[in-house]
Amino acid sequence: DTGVSQNPRHKITKRGQNVTFRCDPISEHNRLYWYRQTLGQGPEFLTYFQNEAQLEKSRLLSDRFSAERPKGSFSTLEIQRTEQGDSAMYLCASSFFQDQGGFFGPGTRLTVL
């Protein structure tokens, strides 16, 4: 399978716990994006990496959210002290060119109880 993969696919956690998601992009893609999507809404941009550098982060993103892409390959998104409002689908997308549009992974569905 040469597409974008995300793990886990589902995560249920209690409020206040920390969670971490992983994204493995398409191997030759140097650009990686994280999005959050809630029901009835389009994906909301969270952050962008070019290789290992985090070049863009949404102004709306809480300090509880952090992302890394240590070797320019896979990426992790961590949410600290989760809140019920963090419940959403977290999507990762990758591309080779900036104007290529992103190819999305299957997403990680987070439920915060």
Partner 1 sequence: QKEVEQNSGPLSVPEGAIASLNCTYSDRGSQSFFWYRQYSGKSPELIMSIYSNGDKEDGRFTAQLNNASQYVSLLIRDSQPSDSATYLCAVNSGNQFYFGTGTSLTVIP
Binding site for partner 1 (CB under 8 A): 33, 35, 40-45, 48, 50, 55-56, 58, 89, 91, 98-107
| Helix, strand, coil in percent for the chain, rounding step 5 | 5, 50, 45
> Smallest distance, Å, CB 92 to partner 1?
9
CB nearer partner 1, residue 29 or residue 80: 29
CB nearer partner 1, residue 7 or residue 80: 7
Q: Under a CB-based contact definition with an 8 Å cutoff, are residues 34 and 23 in contact?
A: yes
> Smallest distance, Å, CB 98 to partner 1?
7
Backbone angles phi, psi at 51, to 5 degrees: 55, -130
> Smallest distance, Å, CB 16 to partner 1?
28
CB nearer partner 1, residue 61 or residue 80: 61
CB nearer partner 1, residue 40 or residue 70: 40
> Smallest distance, Å, CB 101 to partner 1?
4
